[in-house]
Copies of this chain bind each other. A is one copy, B any other.
Amino acid sequence: MKKLLNDPHAYVEEMLAGLVAAHPDVYRLHGETGRVIARADPKRPGKVGIVSGGGSGHLPVFTGYVGTGLIDACAIGDVFASPSVEQMVDAIRAADAGAGVLRLYGNYGGDVMNFDMAGDLVEIEDDIAATTVLLADDVASAPPGEAEKRRGVAGMVYAFKIAGAKAEEGGDLETVTALAQRTADACRSIGAALGPCTVPQAGKPTFEIEDDEMEMGMGIHGEPGVWRGRLRSADEVASEMMDKLLEDMPLGRGERASVLVNSLGATPLEELYILYRVVSKRLMEAGVEIVMPLVGRYATSMEMTGVSFTLCKLDDEMERLLKAPCNCAFWRV
């Protein structure tokens, strides 16, 4: 395991300690569990809260997007593991400012079970109204007919941004929830993996792959993709990824979309920009106007090698909110 760490069991706590020490103006540790990060600035009474949560190992997702115009609090599990109900309850309380709380997170069984229970608890104990929107944007994880089974991946970033901006400008719980759902429905993602990462506590790579192989459609925790075969050229890979996204959500002349070309960790910016040529060419050929493209590391799996593309189809309000100000340690608009 080629990592700079101390005790693997302290990985998450030490990571959070460093995050808060580096950005005390943005993040604070909240509550007793040591696993909830909340906004450092004071709550604004009457603002709808947005919480997220999930396993560690995906920075900036999820914790990193706590900030102005984004999410208010986040519950953090072990690497690739769900946070506990208690941690999620703490996160919901941290986000609550009297106007209800939206739970906005990825479609993974453990997270769904725990967040549902946490929501029930705060409704009973604290009288906090809690809604849910699940991201399920990974087109490789289930066919269109079973879209509710799909896993949530980098589309989350758009949902945080757009719903977060709406909450910041004073939208009520119903409005913010509806907008988060509209964004979730408008996102499609697909990944391609070249190499694994290592979960510190496990000490071995999440999957094995030959030196000349790649896997199209692999999930961010190493979930099986749609094919494994020889490594193809950047242009071939990008074209196939765009085919799969546009097949699932056709975009035509005059439509507007943002696109995220995301590194899963180790894949450098240079390669993302080589891929972006194809992405922008394909969208322009289809007559789609590209709004605020994102290229970088927005949702990772530590040092995994590979990329993901996310398309987010925009209406006027979503576009306005995507471009609205936000601030966290990893994204400033």
A→B interface (CB under 8 Å): 2-6, 11, 14-19, 21-22, 56-57, 59-60, 64, 192, 194-195, 197, 211, 231, 233-235, 237, 261, 265-277, 280, 293, 295-297, 300, 302-303, 305, 307, 329-330, 332
Contacts and interface: CB of A to CB of B under 8 A. Distances in A.
Nearest to A194: B2
B307 A270 contact: no
Given A2-B194, A11-B274, 18 more contacts: A3-B271, A4-B192, A4-B233, A4-B275, A5-B233, A5-B274, A6-B234, A6-B274, A14-B234, A17-B273, A18-B272, A18-B273, A18-B280, A22-B280, A59-B269, A60-B269, A267-B303, A295-B329
Of A19, A197, A231, the most chain B CB neighbours within 10 A belong to A19
Contacts of A293: 22
B6 A276 contact: no
Contacts of A233: 4-6
A237 B6 CA distance: 10
B274 A211 contact: no
Copies of this protein, total:
2
Contacts of A11: 270, 274
A307 B2 contact: no
A266 B307 contact: no
A306 to B, nearest CB: 8
11 contacts: A2-B195, A4-B194, A4-B267, A5-B233, A5-B274, A14-B274, A18-B280, A57-B268, A59-B268, A265-B266, A269-B297
Nearest 4 A/B pairs, CB to CB:
A18-B273, A266-B266, A18-B276, A59-B269
A5 B268 contact: no
Nearest to A327: B332
A5 B271 contact: yes
Contacts of A22: 261, 273, 276, 280, 293, 295
Main secondary structure of the interface of A (DSSP, over half): mixed
A4 B237 contact: yes
A273 B307 contact: no
Nearest to A232: B4
Of A233, A276, A329, the most chain B CB neighbours within 10 A belong to A276
Contacts of A267: 3-4, 303
Contacts of A234: 4-6, 14
Contacts of A271: 3-5
Of A21, A231, A270, A296, the most chain B CB neighbours within 10 A belong to A270
Contact of A297 (B56, B197, B237, B297): B297
Given A6-B274, A231-B2, A235-B6, A268 B21 contact: no
A257 to B, nearest CB: 14
B2 A211 contact: yes
B2 A273 contact: no
B2 A268 contact: no
